[in-house]
Amino acid sequence: MPRTVVPTSGLKPSNLDPAELAKFSALAHRWWDSQSEFKPLHDINPLRLEWIDAHAGLSGKRVVDVGCGGGILTEAMARAGAQVTGIDLAEKPLGVARLHLLESGLQADYRLVSAEALAEEEPGGFDVVTCMEMLEHVPQPESTLRACAALLKPGGHAFFSTLNRNPKAYAMAVIGAEYVLRLLPRGTHDYERFIKPSELARMARASGLTLQHLSGLQYRPISRTYRLGQDASVNYLVHCTRT
């Protein structure tokens, strides 16, 4: 099915899907409840933070977290010493993220702006870009990748995570997580938007990014824990640098 571009305010078409943003806004009040729909994000957070920090050295870096939602990773990166801007196009998660700073005492700058618009405003403004569990919710992931690359200084680091597209990913991420284990609400993920690592690598190259590392993020349903490893067949993380 062709991916559609949805017009937003004004006449210029934008790379967003209002139905996706509405889904995240409707759940936003539960973002920081580690037993809620967002449990998987809480559970994977220490692993991905460590991976990002190991490759990019977050302390003292200027970071932009694209599709930050309620700020689970944004805050963790701020705690690791980064100066973080979190951006999202859903208002309610951003409101929750701002409120949560009062609780955590951390600092982050949360803005309702698209990656594409921020890239025009501040090209080359960041040392690190993170864009996690977001690409599978946008109509044109290649546009997001181009914007992420443009936000980076030369030599800067970009991190992406998303869901692979194959029968196993469908079985685990849609049937397993949404229907059997009920980790996520039904309709959270649209299989057609899942992205194969080869496709992400192609988009990265076309954006001027060089692929450095790829790591699988495996869910072990019996122990209900996650680990990083070779198996990228369902969820995976990618590290690129800007050339």
Does 24 bind ligand SAH (CB under 6 A)? Our answer is yes
Question: Would you report the helix, strand and coil content of the chain in percent, each value rounded to 5?
Answer: 40, 25, 35
Q: Which of 158, 149, 160, 154 is nearest to 208 (CA)?
A: 149
Using CB under 6 A, which of 16, 149, 169, 237 touches ligand SAH?
Answer: 16
Cβ count near 55 (within 10 Å):
17
* CB 93 to ligand SAH: min, Å: 5
- Alpha helix ranges (H) inside the chain: 18-27, 39-56, 72-79, 91-104, 115-121, 141-151, 167-169, 197-206
Using CB under 6 A, which of 21, 58, 149, 169 touches ligand SAH?
Answer: 21
User: Which one of the spans 84-92, 171-179, 219-227, 234-242 is the region binding ligand SAH (CB under 6 A)?
Assistant: 84-92
Using CB under 6 A, which of 52, 53, 67, 84 touches ligand SAH?
Answer: 67
**Which 190-209 positions form the footprint of ligand SAH (CB under 6 A)?**
none
Does 151 bind ligand SAH (CB under 6 A)? Our answer is no
Token pair, residue 35, equals: 């037993």
* CB 73 to ligand SAH: min, Å: 5
* CB 201 to ligand SAH: min, Å: 20
**Nearer of residues 21 and 169 to ligand SAH, judged by Cβ:** 21
* CB 204 to ligand SAH: min, Å: 18
Residue 78 contacts by C-beta under 8 Å, 6 or more apart in sequence?
84, 106, 107, 108
How far is 202 from 209, CA to CA, in rounded Å? 10
3-state secondary structure of 188: coil
**Which 117-136 positions form the footprint of ligand SAH (CB under 6 A)?**
132-134
Does 53 bind ligand SAH (CB under 6 A)? Our answer is no
- Alpha helix ranges (H) inside 105-166: 115-121, 141-151
Using CB under 6 A, which of 52, 75, 82, 93 touches ligand SAH?
Answer: 93
Binding residues for ligand SAH (CB under 6 A): 15-16, 20-21, 24, 41, 67-69, 72-73, 88-90, 93, 114, 132-134, 137-138
